[in-house]
Amino acid sequence: MEYRFLLLDVADKVATVTINRPDKGNALSPEVLEEVTSVFTGIAAREDVSVVVLTGGERYFSAGFDLNEIRKLEKVSNEAYTALFHRAYRSVLFCPQPVIAAIGGPAIAGGFDLTMMCDIRYASSRARFGQRETVLALTPAVDPLWRIIGLGRAKEVALTGRIYDAAEAERMGYVSRVYPEGELLPSVRAIAVEMAGYDRTCLLESKRLGNQVLNMDLDTSMRTQEWLFRSFIGSQENHQRIDALQARLAADRRK
C-alpha cells in the first residue's frame, strides 16, 4: 500500500515506519493518524516482521497535533477526531511486535504521546520532549506515562507542560539511551536487527507478558511467568540456540 505521509521499509524482519511530513514538523494531521493506524494494523498481521521501528528521521519526531485542524473543531462535534487519535495510539501500543521509537528531534504533545505508546525509546541528543496539552487547555494522557516513569514524575510532565531535553528524559527513565546527533537511526537499526534475529514467538509473548503483569497481583504474576517460561524451555528452538551460543563461545576461546 502507498502512503502519503509515511514511509514503510521492511528488511531483515524489521519494519521501519517513518513519519514523512517535514514541511509541518511531522505534525499529526487526520491523514497522518489514519495512515499510522493503517500501517500498524497491517504490520501486526505480517509474519515477516518481528520488530518495528517508529521514527520521524534524524531531524524531527513529531511536533504533535496539527493545530490548524484542531482549531476547526467544535466541542459538540469532536468525537470523530478524538477517536482518530486514540485508534492510532492503540494501533502502536497494542501492536504484537515490539515497537522501538527512534526520536531524532522534537516529540511534543501528540508526538510525545506517540512515543509513549512504544515499548522502547531511544533519542538523539537534539530530541526534545513535552506533554503540552495543558498549555492548550487539553487533558494529557497520563497512562501509560506513569507506568514508564512513575506517577509523581508523570504528573509533573503532564501538569507543567515543560519541555525536557534528551539528557533529562534519559535521567527520568523515559528514554533508554541518547545517541549523538546523526547516529540515532543506524544505532537503533542495529539493535532492531539483532532483536529480530531472536525467536519471533518469544519476542511477541514477552511483550504481551510485560503488558499483562501490570494489572496482576504478585503471586498471579509469578505463576504466569513460570507458565510462560515452561512453554519455551526445552523446545527445539531453545536447544538450537543453546547449541549455537555454546559453539560461538567455544570458537571465541580458541582465538
Q: What domains can be seen in the chain, in order of their start residue?
A: 6-196 (3.90.226.10), 216-254 (no CATH)
Asked if pLDDT for residue 145 goes beyond 90, the answer is: yes
Has residue 87 got a pLDDT over 90?
A: yes
Q: Given this model, what pLDDT does residue 77 score?
A: 64
Residue 230 has pLDDT above 90, yes or no: no
What's the burial of 79, exposed, middle or buried (CB within 10 Å: 0-12/13-18/19+)?
exposed
CB atoms within 10 A of CB 139: 8
Q: What is the pLDDT of residue 221?
A: 86
Q: What is the pLDDT of residue 76?
A: 62
Average pLDDT, integer, range 119-138: 94
**Cβ(36)–Cβ(81) below 8 Å:** no
Residue 179's pLDDT is what?
Answer: 98
Q: Please compute the mean of the pLDDT values over residues 220-237 and round it to a whole number.
A: 86
Q: What is the pLDDT of residue 166?
A: 98
Q: What is the band of 162 on the pLDDT scale with cuts at 50, 70, 90?
A: very high
Instruction: Mention every residue, 6+ apart, whose C-beta is less than 8 A from residue 200.
Output: 13, 47, 50
Q: What pLDDT score was predicted for residue 126?
A: 97
Whether the pLDDT of residue 53 is over 80: the answer is: yes
Cell numbers standing for residue 63 = 511536533
Q: From the CA atom positions of the chain, what is the Rg in Å? A: 20
Q: Which residues pair with 121 in a beta bridge?
A: 101
- Residue 254 has a pLDDT of 86
DSSP-derived secondary structure letter, 53 = E
101's CB contacts (< 8 A; 6+ apart) are 53, 54, 55, 61, 107, 114, 115, 118, 120, 121, 122
**According to the model, what pLDDT value does residue 113 have?**
95
Share of the chain above pLDDT 90, in %: 69
- Phi/psi of residue 64, nearest 5 degrees: 105, -145
| 181-227 per-position pLDDT tens digit | 999 999 999 999 999 999 999 999 999 999 988 889 889 988 988 88
Residue 43 identity: I
- Answer whether the bond into residue 140 is a cis peptide, omega within 30°: no
Q: Which residue has the higher pLDDT, 72 or 151?
A: 151
pLDDT class for 73, splitting at 50, 70, 90? low
Task: Count the Cβ atoms, other than its own, within 10 Å of residue 10.
Answer: 14
Average pLDDT over residues 89-118: 97
